[in-house]
């Protein structure tokens, strides 16, 4: 069985989304130590920003008339789609950047949609457990000054669940900048609690994902 994990934080060290995803991955592997983990790190190996228009326009161009750039983009999209389509469970870890979706993550999603297997209406992740791990520097809950400013989580869930059909769980960590931003100093005790709760939730979700994958395999067998 295969777990696919995507990371999109621009920080390779000190990233909360990566740390929480690590906790989830460990909990998953505790249940399935022999499973394969396929990783794609969009910080280390980003999808080229100019690949998406080539891949998208290739879909409207007869194959024998495509440019070399379009052919290369289609092949890249297929490789990206293979990684996800071949997984029994999926984890997407990302921060909230400037109140929206990471550029790297948006490009990855846009590329996947150009592959016929991930086009709207295909539901390629139907029946599979998918977890979105998202970290936010501030607080965005109801009643906070930034309530309603998170324009990433809802859209990502729409893509993973409503477009691709995954059984999506969201693991959230907030106030991640409290340690370094002086204006958030009074929130540091709360930030520690929120971070600990995120790791605890991730551990539970990791075990649940492993159990779900095992049950699906039993049904197939």
pLDDT digits (tens, 9 = 90+) for 102-131: 999 999 999 999 999 999 999 999 999 999
Residue-range domain boundaries for the chain: 2-220
Task: Report residues of the chain scoring pLDDT below 70.
Answer: 220-221
Between CA 184 and CA 178 the distance in angstroms is: 5
Instruction: Please list, in sequence order, all residues whose beta carbon lies within 8 angstroms of the beta carbon of residue 125, skipping any fewer than 6 positions away.
Output: 84, 90, 160, 164, 165, 166
- Tell me, what's the pLDDT at 221? 53
- The β-bridge partners of 97 are 100
pTM of the model: 0.94
The one-character DSSP state at 97 is: B
- Tell me, what's the pLDDT at 172? 97
- Tell me, what's the pLDDT at 220? 60
Between CA 195 and CA 199 the distance in angstroms is: 6
- How crowded is residue 209: how many other Cβ atoms within 10 Å of its Cβ? 27
Whether the Cβ atoms of residue 169 and residue 125 lie closer than 8 Å to each other: no
Nearest to 172 by CA among 18, 20, 6: 20
- Tell me, what's the pLDDT at 126? 95
- Tell me, what's the pLDDT at 218? 74
Q: Which CATH number fits domain 2-220: 3.30.70.1880, 2.120.10.30, 3.20.20.80, 3.40.50.360?
A: 3.40.50.360
């Amino acid at each position: 069985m295969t777990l696919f994990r995507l990371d999109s934080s621009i920080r390779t060290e000190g990233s909360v989304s990566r740390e929480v995803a690590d906790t989830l991955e460990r909990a998953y592997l505790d249940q399935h130590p022999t499973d394969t983990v396929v990783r794609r790190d969009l910080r280390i190996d980003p999808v080229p920003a100019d690949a998406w228009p080539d891949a998208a326009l290739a879909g409207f161009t007869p194959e024998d008339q495509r440019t070399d750039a379009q052919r290369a983009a289609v092949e890249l999209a297929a490789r990206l789609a293979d990684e996800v389509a071949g997984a029994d469970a999926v984890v997407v870890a990302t921060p909230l950047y400037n109140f929206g979706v990471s550029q790297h993550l948006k490009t990855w999603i846009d590329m996947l949609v150009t592959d016929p297997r991930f086009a709207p209406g295909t539901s390629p992740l139907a029946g599979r457990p998918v977890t979105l791990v998202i970290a936010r520097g501030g607080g965005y809950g109801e009643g906070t000054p930034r309530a309603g400013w998170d324009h990433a989580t809802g859209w990502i869930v729409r893509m993973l669940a409503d477009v691709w059909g995954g059984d999506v769980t969201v693991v959230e960590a907030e106030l991640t900048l409290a340690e370094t931003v002086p204006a958030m100093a009074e929130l540091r005790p709360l930030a520690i609690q929120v971070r600990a709760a995120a790791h605890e939730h991730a551990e539970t979700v990791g075990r649940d994902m492993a159990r779900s994958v095992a049950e699906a395999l039993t049904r197939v067998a």
